[in-house]
Amino acid sequence: MYDLSFRAINTIILPVSSFPRMDLQDQQQLVIEAQQSPEGFGRLYDYYFPKVYAFVACKVRNSDDAEDIASEVFMVVLQKIHAYEWRGIPITGWIFGIACNELKTHFERNVRVDPVQTDELEQLADDEDQTSPHKSAVRSELAREMRKVMKSLPEKELTVVQLKFFSQLTNLEIVEVTGLSATNVATILFRTLRKMKRGLTFFA
């Protein structure tokens, strides 16, 4: 059976969008520096903006809207960062909470626009130059299967999957963003992966 671990899915679908990882100590230092200087805030922006943009882009219909919303998120972060108190947990939940509020405001202003449910998934894997034809075909097929599975998910489950696969958050960070328990997050991800595996037996 083809390897469909979370790591494999991220490698196949997001081959050129792998985000760096920081441990809690590094994140705490990032927050301290962001509160102390514009340069420090720039480092926080550089680390989190791609993650926020990837999540927002899953929810809206075009890249211009996604960029505008992500930019608004960091305007709010800039305004409020000095009041943020480090609590020994990733700041990810706080930042993505702001992102969710900005998305809500966006859809309230555009009531006739429905959120996108990953129709542009294949565009995240456009770079074919560094992959073999076989890997390219596998990635394309997996992208189609992911799209089909994700369209069937309720919004709560869809958000968890988008945070995991697109923004590449850890389970702990997803807990902080969604308010779900660690067990619920793990269960949602496990069930989604199982659905995908059922539809991909041709890779055996």
The string of pLDDT tens digits covering residues 98-137 is: 999 999 999 888 765 555 544 444 444 444 444 455 555 6
Structure letter (DSSP) for residue 201: G
User: Residue 30's Cα: distance from chain center in Å?
Assistant: 20
| CA 168 to each of CA 84, 92, 162: distance values in angstroms, whole numbers, following the listed order | 23, 11, 8
Q: How far apart are CA 12 and CA 7, in angstroms?
A: 9
What's the predicted TM-score (pTM) here?
Answer: 0.71
84-100 average pLDDT score: 92
pLDDT at position 6, please? 52
Q: How far apart are CA 137 and CA 133, in angstroms?
A: 6
Phi first, then psi, for residue 113 (nearest 5°) are -100, 120
Helices and strands (DSSP H and E) totals, the chain? 9, 0
pLDDT at position 190, please? 87
pLDDT at position 145, please? 67
Question: Taking Cα atoms as reference points, which of 171, 172, 130, 162 lies closest to residue 9?
Answer: 162
pLDDT beyond 90 at 71:
yes
Q: How far apart are CA 50 and CA 2, in angstroms?
A: 29
Q: Does residue 176 contact residue 27 with C-beta atoms inside 8 Å?
A: no
Q: Which residue has the higher pLDDT, 3 or 29?
A: 29
pLDDT at position 123, please? 45
pLDDT at position 130, please? 46
The string of pLDDT tens digits covering residues 13-43 is: 444 446 778 888 999 999 999 999 999 999 9
Looking at the chain, the whole-number percentage of residues with pLDDT higher than 70 is 68
1-24 average pLDDT score: 56
Q: Which of 66-75, 88-97, 185-194 has the lowest mean pLDDT?
A: 185-194
pLDDT beyond 60 at 148:
yes
Q: Does residue 69 contact residue 106 with C-beta atoms inside 8 Å?
A: yes
pLDDT at position 139, please? 56
Q: Which of 43-57, 72-86, 144-158 has the lowest mean pLDDT?
A: 144-158
pLDDT at position 58, please? 86
| Chain position carrying tokens 């996604």 | 66
146-164 average pLDDT score: 81
> What is the rounded (10 degree) CA torsion for 109, 168, 181, 22?
-110
pLDDT beyond 90 at 158:
no
